[in-house]
């Protein structure tokens, strides 16, 4: 189940990356590159930091093919993308939760503690989007929009607490995924945000 959600997640993230590249007027190579970075960047950063090799896309090069196809498909269907905005919000929420659980699981399997595992989960969940925005010369959306990184952190701890309660693995995954997706969609619906720090440099 996690694999299916992961594939859905990287496809959706690749398409959001392609749209960001399109807003910057990039050529098709740039579109594909940004799409791949968005979809696979979080997992790659996690694996590099944890020393977890080979990287996911090296072990499974078919993921590069999938994200490339998703990017090229986005170029074709771009005129109709606004009608799919709600669907993308849901798919993005599912992808965030799935990436988070996978990142958490990989870290715990290595024998890392819960704090390290939660950081690993958040990196997996958000860093693709951070890299996308940096490459597109934008302030990363995760630092200035509705709850996103916080959702990933919450999802990771939900997963680990359920694991500590020794619930069946499938039930643990479902609870973590459901809580993460629900919190993200509620954050979008009601515009929940972390308080911002504003400094004008006068003192």
Length of the chain: 203
**Full-model pTM:** 0.92
Picking from 24-33, 73-82, 92-101, 163-172, which range would have the lowest pLDDT averaged per residue? 73-82
- The mean pLDDT of the chain is 92
Q: pLDDT, tens digit, for every residue of 70-123?
A: 999 999 998 887 788 888 888 888 889 999 999 999 999 999 999 999 999 999
Q: Are 149 and 50 in contact (CB under 8 A)?
A: no
Residues near 156 by Cβ (< 8 Å), separated by ≥ 6?
A: 100, 101, 103, 104, 117, 118, 121, 122, 176
Nearest to 15 by CA among 29, 46, 36: 36
**Left if phi > 0, otherwise alpha if psi is -120 to 50, otherwise beta: which for 51?**
left
Question: Is a pLDDT exceeding 80 seen at residue 163?
Answer: yes
Structure tokens at 73: 């498909």
Nearest to 114 by CA among 147, 161, 80: 161
Q: What's the confidence (pLDDT) of residue 198?
A: 82
Ranked by mean pLDDT, which of 8-22, 58-72, 89-103 comes out on top? 58-72
């Amino acid at each position: 189940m996690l694999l299916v959600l992961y594939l859905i997640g990287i496809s959706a993230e690749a398409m959001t990356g392609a749209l960001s590249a399109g807003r910057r007027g990039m050529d098709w190579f740039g579109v594909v590159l940004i799409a791949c970075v968005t979809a696979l960047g979080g997992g790659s950063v996690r694996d590099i930091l944890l020393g977890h090799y080979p990287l996911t896309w090296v072990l499974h090069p078919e993921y590069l093919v999938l994200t490339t196809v998703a990017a090229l498909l986005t170029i074709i269907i771009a005129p109709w993308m606004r009608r799919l905005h709600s669907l993308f919000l849901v798919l993005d929420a599912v992808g965030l939760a799935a990436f988070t659980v996978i990142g958490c699981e990989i870290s715990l399997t290595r024998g890392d503690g819960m704090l390290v595992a939660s950081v690993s989960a958040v990196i997996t969940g958000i860093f693709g989007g951070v890299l996308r925005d940096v490459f597109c010369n934008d302030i990363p959306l995760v630092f200035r929009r509705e709850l996103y990184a916080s959702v990933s952190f919450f999802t990771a701890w939900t997963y680990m607490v359920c694991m500590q309660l020794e619930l069946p693995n499938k039930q643990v995954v479902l609870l973590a995924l459901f809580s993460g997706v629900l919190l993200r969609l509620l954050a979008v619906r009601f515009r929940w945000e972390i308080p911002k720090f504003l400094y004008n440099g006068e003192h």
